[in-house]
Amino acid sequence: MRMIIHKSRKKSVCITVAGLLAGIAGGLVLYYVRDVVLGWCLVITAVFALLYGMGSLFDRRPYVVLTAHGITEPFTIREQIEWEAIRYVDDFYFRGQYWVRLLLRGDYKPQLIRPGWFRRFDRLYESEGVKAVYIRMMGLEVDSMQLVALIRKMKEADMPDRIGLLKKYRSR
C-alpha cells in the first residue's frame, strides 16, 4: 500500500491560463498602447508561465511516496526513510515557497541524500546530532500543512493503522 503525490493538475492549468492571458495582454499593449517595454515584459512572462504550466501539466513523476514503512522523495532523499527514524517534522516558508523539514535520529544516517540549500541549518543540526531532510512543496497536490499532519500521524501509528491512514488519505 502506498500513496503517491504528484504535481497538481489544477495549479498547472491555472498557471497555463494565466500565461495565455498575459500573452494576450502583452500583444494588446504592444499593438494598441505601443508601450514596447511593458508589452515585451508581459510576453516574456507569458512564455515562461506557459512553459512551466504545460511542463507541470504533463509531468506525472512521483514527487513524494508514502508507504506503510516510510517516506521517499526521489529527487533529494532517493531512499526510503523509515517512520521510526523521524524525530520531528514541521513546515516552514523560505524564499517564496513552503518546505517540509524532517529531523532524523542521530544514529540514522541515510546514504543517498543530496545536499540542499540549507547548509547553515545542516551544520547546526549536525552539531546537535540530528540529520535534516527538506522536501520542497511548490506545486504539489497537497500543501505542506496536510503533509506534515499525515507524517506525524504515520510516525505515531503502528503498521495496521498506517495502512488505514494511507487508504483514508488516498481516497480524498
Contact 92, 99 (CB under 8 A): yes
Judge if 152 and 99 occupy the same domain.
yes
Please indicate, yes or no, whether residues 37 and 120 belong to a single structural domain of this protein: no
Per-residue pLDDT at 86 exceeds 80: yes
Buried b (16+ CB within 10 A) or exposed e, 156-166: eeeeeebeebb
**What confidence score (pLDDT) does residue 105 get?**
83
Q: Which position has the higher pLDDT, 105 or 22?
A: 22
Average pLDDT over residues 140-152: 93
Q: Is residue 66 part of a domain?
A: no
What's the pTM?
0.82
Give yes or no: residues 45 and 87 share one domain: no
Stated as kind and residue range, the H or E segment containing 65 is: strand 64-67
Give the total number of structural domains in the chain: 2
Residues 45 and 115 in one domain: no
| Residue 53 shares a structural domain with residue 91 | no
